[in-house]
Structure 1
Amino acid sequence: MRQRRLGNSGLRVSRLGLGTMSWGEATDADEAASQLAAFVEAGGTLVDTADVYCDGESERILGGLLDDVVPRDHIVIATKAAAKRNDGPFGSGASRGALLNALDGSLRRLGVDHVDLWQVHVWDGQVPLEETLAAADHAVATGKVRYFGVSNYTGWQLAAAAAAQQGGPNPIVSVQSEYSLLERGIEREVVPAARHFGVGLLPWAPLGRGVLTGKYRGGTPPNSRGADPGYAGYVDHHRNDRASRIVEAVATAAEGLGTSPLAVALAWVRDRDLVAAPIVGARDTAQLAASLAAEELELPAEITAALDDVSAIEFGYPEQRRG
């Protein structure tokens, strides 16, 4: 698997990241071990988790696999903080106390002395941005964090944070956002902000929450997330007429190329401007293998253009360019 630099930083990551949101729930420790081994064998290095995934179990499982399945220094560990873990005074948010408390918890669960990429999971409008960034600076200065990023920020939020860190020892190197053929909203303001400040993109849900694989074309498979009451709303967000047109275009392209709709959709987002690594999750190793197989696919320019066109979003004032 090829490697890319994350934004303007010196951090290199595989151009596909392994997501672990389901580890500890739909994916048990044995299956997680199989996934991690397959991912690393394929040349993958970026493994993404968060302190809130399965109440911390995702981090615990990953930590238990280090050295047994893969040496610690062979992977880039990315985790997140700020989403709600509990009702305690430091159980959520982007305050200094909450963030540093969350980081210490992540390090304990992972069984490591540092993480390679630490991301603020969500914007916290109740906390001064300066306090949030000072906590990140402290985490880097103490050696507990190597690089710092953000997640789910709007364009102005990313720009404000990146501008505050610009020129300092701890610039923002990444923003993790939902991005796929079905969700291109970040192209309006997040992508321009990221380009201006040299921030790399880590797309989550690059397969449109599973819809772009084509599995829902004929209905809802009984063993899919769309059939799970806990995830049905998550999937249904991208089940509409516009999505159906895009899914059919992806399926047509896949048929013409002799590959899968999954591979086409993943290759499209992987090769978008500023993207370092789409984050793909899988229930089992077979699903992951399908994503890993997309590494070899390079979309012809005419197919990329056709997919761009069918999935195009509307730009209006003030994002639109005139003349």
Structure 2
Amino acid sequence: MQQRSVGASGLRVSRLGLGTMTWGRDTDEHEARDQLVAFVGAGGTLLDTAAAYGDGVSEQLIGSLLGDVVAREDVVLATKAGLGQRRPAGRPGGSPNRGATRDTSRRSVLASLDASLRRLGTDHVDLLQVHVWSDATPLEETLATLDHVVSTGRARYVGVSNYTGWQTAQAATWQRAVPGRAPLVSTQVEYSLLNRNVELEVLPAAEALGLGVLTWSPLGRGVLTGKYRTGTPSDSRAATSHLASFVEPYLDERSHGIVESVVKAADGLGWTPAEVALAWVRDRPGVAAPVVGARTAAQLRALLSVEDKALPLEIADALDDVSAVD
């Protein structure tokens, strides 16, 4: 698998990342093991997790596999801090982490990272990202904490996640203002043919300030696979109580039209709709790696086949037109 630099930094990752949000919950340890073996076997290196994923269960599962299934040095291990345990009733329609407590204070981030390192069974992560923006903590406190985790060796690189354009620009500029601070190297945001809002401000800010873009839900929360065209499969995310509201916003008429265009392109190319959607976002300007999550190893192996594929320009242009942000 091709490797890419993350922004203007020296950090290099595979151009497809393996997401683990559902590990330990919808994906059991056997499937997780098979996924990790398949991913690393295909040349994948970027392994993405977070303290908030399953309240730490995802990290714990990864920790049980590192050194056993794959060597720690064979992966670029990325985690996130800043979200606490979920409240019982989050608002529907957004991230599955909606409803979790936000705390990006020095105390919380350091405690979260140290707990993550214990679960992961390592003394450092390659990339630590602040999971969310929080108005409750001064930005300079959060960023000074990132300086500290780099200087103490807990993380090699740092970045942010789910920041707006102005938040991204403010944070990255602050870190570049004084020599010796740890520069932000990445921003992780939702980006797919069904959600291109980050093109308005976040992507320009990232390009101007040298941040690489990691994308979550590059398959439109699973909708771009085409599985929901005629209903909700019983084994799909939309059929689960904890992820139904996560998928629902992309089951509208606009999304349906985009999905049909993706399916038409896939039929013409002899690809799957997932391959079309993933290749599109992977090769967008500024994107270092889409992060894909799969329930099973078979699903992941099917997605890994996109490595040898590139969308013809005319098809990419047609998909740009049909999915353009209003």
The TM-score with structure 2 as length reference comes to: 0.94
Corresponding position of 2:94: none
Q: Which residue of 1 aligns with 2:7?
A: 7
Aligned partner of 1:226 among 238, 262, 270: 238
Residue 214 of structure 2: aligned partner: 202
Aligned runs of 1:274-285 on 2, under 5 Å?
274-285=286-297
Q: Check conservation: 2:102, 2:134, Cα contact below 8 A.
A: no
Match in the other structure for 2:92: none
- Give the structure 2 partner of residue 260 of structure 1: 272
Q: Deviations over 1:24-50 (max 9, x none)?
A: 101111211110000000000000000
Q: What's the secondary structure of 2:39's corresponding residue?
A: helix
Which 5+ residue runs of structure 1 have no aligned equivalent? Answer: 315-323
- Please name the residue that 2:160 is paired with: 150
Asked whether the equivalents of residues 92 and 98 of structure 1 are also in contact (C-alpha less than 8 Å), the reply is no
Partner Cα distance (1:140, 1:193) in 2? 23
- CA apart distance, 1:230: 1.8
Query: Aligned AA for 2:51?
Result: D
Q: Aligned partners of 1:198 and 1:6: how far apart in 2?
A: 9
RMSD of aligned Cα (Å): 1.1
Pairing 1:179-218 to 2, within 5 Å after superposition: 179-218=191-230
Percent identical pairs in the alignment equals 60
Residue number in structure 2 paired with 1:321? none
- Pick one of 292, 299, 304 that aligns with 2:304: 292
Q: Is the 8 A contact 2:104 2:137 kept in 1?
A: yes
Deviation at 1:173, TM superposition (A): 0.4
Report the equivalent of 2:66: 66
TM-score of the pair, normalised by structure 1: 0.95
What is the CA–CA distance in structure 2 between the aligned matches of 1:292 and 1:188, rounded to whole Å?
29
Aligned to 1:128: 138
Matching of residues 49-60 of structure 1 within 5 Å? 49-60=49-60
Question: Counterpart amino acid of 1:117?
Answer: L
State the one-letter code of the partner of 1:150: V
Please give the per-residue CA displacement for 1:162-191, whole angstroms capped at 9, x wherever unaligned: 000115441110000000000000001001
Q: Deviations over 1:114-133 (max 9, x none)?
A: 00000000001111111000
* C-alpha distance in structure 2 between counterparts of 1:93 and 1:271, whole Å: 34
Shift of 1:86: 7.7
Does 1:114 find its partner at 2:114?
A: no
Letter in 2 for 1:113: D
Shift of 1:92: 4.8
Q: What one-letter code is carried by the residue in structure 1 that aligns with 2:305?
A: A
Total equivalences in the alignment: 311
Partner Cα distance (1:127, 1:217) in 2? 43
1:161 and 1:238 map into 2 onto residues whose CA distance is 30
The CA deviation at 1:275 is 0.2
| Structure 2: unaligned runs, 5 residues or longer | 88-100
Q: Distance in 1 between matches of 2:243 and 2:26?
A: 12
Q: Is the 8 A contact 2:102 2:132 kept in 1?
A: no
Deviation at 1:229, TM superposition (A): 2.1
Native 8 Å contact 1:150 1:174 kept in 2 = yes
